[in-house]
Structure 1
Amino acid sequence: MIVHGIVLVIGLALAFAPFLFQDVRSAQVAARICVFIVLAASYDLLIGYTGIVSFAHTMFFGLGAYGAAMALKALGPGWDAVFLGGLAGTLTAAILAVLIGALSLRVKAIFFAMVTLAAASVMMVLASQFSEFTGGEDGIVYKAPDLFKPATKLLTDDDGKVLKLFGVSMNGKIAAYYFVFLTCLMLFLALMRIVRSPLGTVLEAIRENELRAEAIGYRVVAYRTSVFVIAAVVAALTGSVWAVWLKYTGPETTLSFSIMIDILLMVVIGGMGTMVGAVIGVTLMSLAQFYLKDLMAAAADATEAVPLLPDLLNPDRWLLWLGILFILLVYFFPAGIAGTLMKKGSH
């Protein structure tokens, strides 16, 4: 009950984010949280529900982003480019997932993890080397569809001026945010439907005891490959949405290993095998990444007269405190925040 309350509050905050938090930075953080909730949830489908450890999730995310980015660059800022580019990136991700899954999911978990890590590394190198198509290390800059331009008037008054709702102009920025929010909401609900379906039950059975699942007639490799493809497709679609929002795609924003580590931490903090844990984990981690430095700077100023403390609270040491926060969360919530609260609630 507590978990669902927390998720509901986060969901409402994201739904009304443009009106609650009106600065540019807050809009960026809210959109990132929406995208990463789906990305973390799709990864939870792999690691939490099926027991598959993969390091290639950002590769599929990047394929979707680069697909949309290259199409928008080549065809111009139209919906046809978003659709064709996103489709191309998603299909490529699905094909790669089938190949990797069919060839590697028969082996032990550690070997499969190494295969996915190698595939992700190769994709990172390819994105950097094929600069003619991908922009190399600099990435690609392009324009989003006209609907998302700040100058676009969604609602106007009698004089033709942009209408304001709760002090917020109804322009293209609002349209861009709700494109991200609604698309991510649909993808998240689709993932929730999967884990609550008979397929979700089979995946949990495979995670708990692979040999027993195979003994009672389930084709384990086929199921594992299928869920690997589903997770890859969702990650690629999310990448396309992220590309449209950012209007920039590069190796650091979509393919870097640090993003993969972030996703893993988000799932662990939220609670593996819960799906709603992704909402809590992503929100907590994103707020810490974007606002912990500001909080520490304020705390350092407030404790200026205290010896040593301002030095410890120096904003440059934010990663140290983020690490301590993570250790405390793992200690007090061993099954993740959602997982631990759910277990306590069931007793």
Structure 2
Amino acid sequence: MKQTYGTWTVKLTVLAIWAALLFAPFLFQDVRSIQVAARICIFIVLVGSYDLLIGYTGIVSFAHTMFFGFGAYGAAILLRQMGPGWTPILLGAGAGAALSLVVAAGIGLLSLRVKAIFFAMITLAAASVALVLASQLSHLTGGEDGITYSAPDLFKPATKLWTDADGRVAQLWGVRMNGKIAAYYFVFCGAALLFWAMLRLVASPFGTVLKAIRENEARAEAIGYRVVAYRTFVFCISAVIASLAGTIYAVWLKYTGPETVLSFDIMIDILLMVVIGGMGTMLGPVIGAVLLVVAQYYLRDLMGAAAEAVSALPLLPDLLNPDRWLLWLGILFILLVYFFPRGIAGTAMQKGTRS
């Protein structure tokens, strides 16, 4: 199939984003920027795995953060009980993925036969139950306070990856080669690997079947595809990928709590990122994750600078008050939806189509 101008533009944009994330520790050397870059990596995977559901099969689920939390809590609990090391991380990742697989298969087999709105409500109820259990099982999950633990020694800031002739931490382009760099590239490589796996999945014949189910479920059923089986399978895959993303995030944060991995606010962010980037593209989630995470971290600062610049003018300083950043974020979202009805990536691909 011939690639359109819009498709190439989106692909080059996504490639540039991944290149910026690859060199983020060297391009943006303050601690906050590295935190933002790591969060973007995690949300690219999380939003991409959700796009497998809503974008490729039309499944609306509100339980995605539940699977994200399973992976995070699996690693967190074992790191606290067994101490820092790779064994608890691997066991926690496996336990979280297995639990996600079982729960997703159960929900899918029991609920995907019903209408979309009822399935969405069932997943919302399941996510609410998981949030309540995480808050109440304090002996296991730490309750509302969450769990604090130590990461493997390789990821500790005091770890020296390279040393100079004097035995001090070596620097590369002004960046100290310590455990913090190792932790970031653990997040980056894990996210890149999972994202590549999702790209391969949607480009495969299986991905073509998912698109067929999304476009016309009755026709897909008529030509012999078992729609419920396919939807359940992709629901399970999406859950496992979200769980693995949660494990990576837990290792990076060294803290896991209900608000960081199970909050409904995270689910809202995922939905916004999918809509902004473009559903059913797998490239859109990259753009949506970058825009929303950067806005959440830097829009207040930008508005503060703008308010200071127009301080001599009437009304504008009040409108640009940093405390109103959520208002402006909502306005930006409305504008994006209006001018990019299929998301940024989807609209760009559609408008770039040549006859």
Tell me, in whole angstroms, the C-alpha distance in 2 between the residues paired with 1:153 and 1:324: 46
Tell me, in whole angstroms, the C-alpha distance in 2 between the residues paired with 1:234 and 1:7: 20
Query: How far has the Cα of 1:157 moved from its partner?
Result: 1.3
Tell me, in whole angstroms, the C-alpha distance in 2 between the residues paired with 1:233 and 1:75: 23
Tell me, in whole angstroms, the C-alpha distance in 2 between the residues paired with 1:344 and 1:260: 30
Q: Which position in structure 2 is the counterpart of 1:77?
A: 84
Tell me, in whole angstroms, the C-alpha distance in 2 between the residues paired with 1:316 and 1:151: 37
Residue 282 of structure 1 aligns with an amino acid whose one-letter code is A
Q: Which position in structure 2 is the counterpart of 1:298?
A: 305
Match of 1:43 among 20, 37, 50: 50
Query: How far has the Cα of 1:281 moved from its partner?
Result: 0.3
Residue 216 of structure 1 aligns with an amino acid whose one-letter code is I
**Structure 2 counterparts to residues 1-347 of structure 1, below 5 A:** 1-347=8-354
Q: How high is the sequence identity, in percent, across the aligned residues?
A: 73
Q: Which position in structure 1 is the counterpart of 2:3?
A: none
Query: How far has the Cα of 1:5 moved from its partner?
Result: 1.8
Work out the number of aligned pairs and report it.
347
Runs of 4+ displaced beyond 6 Å: none
Tell me, in whole angstroms, the C-alpha distance in 1 between the residues paired with 2:225 and 2:164: 61
Q: Deviations over 1:264-284 (max 9, x none)?
A: 000000000000001000000
Tell me, in whole angstroms, the C-alpha distance in 2 between the residues paired with 1:41 and 1:341: 18
Tell me, in whole angstroms, the C-alpha distance in 1 between the residues paired with 2:327 and 2:169: 45
Task: Note the aligned Cα RMSD (angstroms).
Answer: 0.5
Tell me, in whole angstroms, the C-alpha distance in 1 between the residues paired with 2:129 and 2:327: 31
Tell me, in whole angstroms, the C-alpha distance in 1 between the residues paired with 2:353 and 2:168: 54
Residue 122 of structure 1 aligns with an amino acid whose one-letter code is V
SS in 2 for 1:152: coil
Tell me, in whole angstroms, the C-alpha distance in 1 between the residues paired with 2:14 and 2:233: 28
Residue 47 of structure 1 aligns with an amino acid whose one-letter code is I
* TM-score between the two structures when normalised by the length of structure 2: 0.97
Query: How far has the Cα of 1:136 moved from its partner?
Result: 0.3
Residue 111 of structure 1 aligns with an amino acid whose one-letter code is F
Tell me, in whole angstroms, the C-alpha distance in 2 between the residues paired with 1:190 and 1:143: 29
SS in 2 for 1:287: helix
SS in 1 for 2:352: helix
Query: How far has the Cα of 1:334 moved from its partner?
Result: 0.5
Tell me, in whole angstroms, the C-alpha distance in 2 between the residues paired with 1:279 and 1:146: 31
The worse-fitting range, judged by mean Cα deviation, of 151-160 and 98-107 is 151-160
Residue 281 of structure 1 aligns with an amino acid whose one-letter code is G
In the alignment, structure 2 segments of 5+ residues that lack a partner are 1-7
* TM-score between the two structures when normalised by the length of structure 1: 0.99
Residue 91 of structure 2 aligns with an amino acid whose one-letter code is L
Residue 20 of structure 1 aligns with an amino acid whose one-letter code is L
The worse-fitting range, judged by mean Cα deviation, of 5-14 and 128-137 is 5-14
Residue 128 of structure 1 aligns with an amino acid whose one-letter code is S
Residue 132 of structure 1 aligns with an amino acid whose one-letter code is H
